[in-house]
Amino acid sequence: MPVWIGIATFIFTIAGSLMAAGWRAKGIQASLDKKISDNAAAHEKKTLELAAELRADTERRFEAARIERSRQIEEQGRVYGDTVTALRTKINEVEASLTREISGLGFWVRDHLVSRLDFQNVIDGLVRSVDGVSADIKEVNRKLDSVITGIKVDRDAHR
C-alpha cells in the first residue's frame, strides 16, 4: 500500500500543481487582459487626442490659407482697379490731345486752304448742279407722263 499512497500523493501533487498552474495562468491571463485593455484605452485616448490636434491644425492652416487667398484677391482687385484707372486717364489724355489736334487742323484748313470766295464758288456750283439735276428729273417725269398717257390711249383703243 505504501506504493499506492506514493502514487496517489504523486497524482494529487501533479493535479494540485496543474490546478495551481491553471489558476496562475488564469491570473496571468486576467492580468494580461487588464494590461491589454488599459493599453488599448490609452492608445485610443492618444489616437483621439492626436486626431483632435490634427483637426485643429488642419483648421488653423485652412483658415490661414483662406485669409491669405482673400488678401491676394483684394490685392489683385486693387491692382486691377489701379490699372483701369490709369487706362481711363490715358484714354482721356489721348482723346483730349486728338480733339485739340483735329480742332486745330480744322481751323488750319479753314484758314489756309479755303478762302471765302472759293467757298462761295463751291456753294454756287453745288446749287447749279442741284438745279440741273432738278431740271433733268422734271424732264424725265414729263417724258414718263407722255409714255403713260400713250399706253393708256393704246389700251383704250384696243378695248
* pLDDT over 90 percentage in the chain: 16
What type of residue is 116? R
pLDDT tens for 141-158 read 888 888 888 888 777 777
**pLDDT beyond 70 at 106:** no
Highest mean pLDDT among 11-20, 109-118, 136-145: 136-145
* Residue 8 to residue 15: CA distance in whole angstroms: 10
How large is the average pLDDT for residues 18-46?
A: 81
* Residue 98 to residue 102: CA distance in whole angstroms: 6
What is the pLDDT confidence band of residue 108, given thresholds at 50, 70 and 90?
Answer: low
Task: State the Cα torsion 67-68-71-75 to the nearest 10°.
Answer: -170
How large is the average pLDDT for residues 95-121?
A: 70
Q: What is the pLDDT of residue 107?
A: 64
83-87, 96-100, 106-110, 130-134, range with the lowest pLDDT: 106-110
Domain edges within the chain = 2-113, 116-159
What type of residue is 142? R
Residue 142's Cβ-side half-sphere holds a number of Cα atoms within 13 Å equal to 6
Task: State the Cα torsion 22-26-32-34 to the nearest 10°.
Answer: -170
Residue of higher predicted confidence among 111 and 31? 31
Q: What is the pLDDT of residue 94?
A: 81
